[in-house]
Amino acid sequence: MESAVRRLRSQVRRLAKGRPSRSVRDPIAVREAAVALGRSRLHQGHSVHRIAREFGISEPTLAGWLRPRAPGRLRPVVVSPDLELARRPGVVLIAGHGVRVEGLDADTLIAVLRALV
């Protein structure tokens, strides 16, 4: 167990390379290892604070990783005709977060969407 903690701490240090912890993007493998080891340590009675210190990551980060996640959900959308857009040539796509793509024909827009997925 201790060697696994040392390996994880070493990986975390290597990723940080002197940068502030909030600017480090931890790979999925590191997160999964931290969660597995963290849950094991929690069952042994250790606190999240102590475990985070042992791993070399912040307590809020570890606590967030250990929190159970709800499965992702798709949100329903409603498609309604817009007469102003109907008069414009081409297809217009307006994403939920405000991105607007227009002036493309339907086939080109489909190709762009497929490239983004």
Selected residue with higher pLDDT from 9 and 59? 59
Selected residue with higher pLDDT from 32 and 104? 32
Is 42 within a domain?
yes
Are 23 and 51 within one domain?
yes
pLDDT at 92: 74
Instruction: Give, as one character, the DSSP assignment of residue 19.
Output: S
Domain count, the chain: 2
CA-to-CA separations, 1 to 8, 36, 38, in angstroms, rounded: 11, 11, 11
Helix/strand number for the chain, H first, E second: 6, 2
Report the pLDDT averaged over residues 25-33. 82
Is 74 within a domain?
no
The per-residue pLDDT for range 50-108, each reduced to its tens digit, is 999 998 888 998 999 999 888 888 888 888 777 765 666 667 777 767 778 777 777 88
pLDDT at 82: 72
Are 52 and 98 within one domain?
no
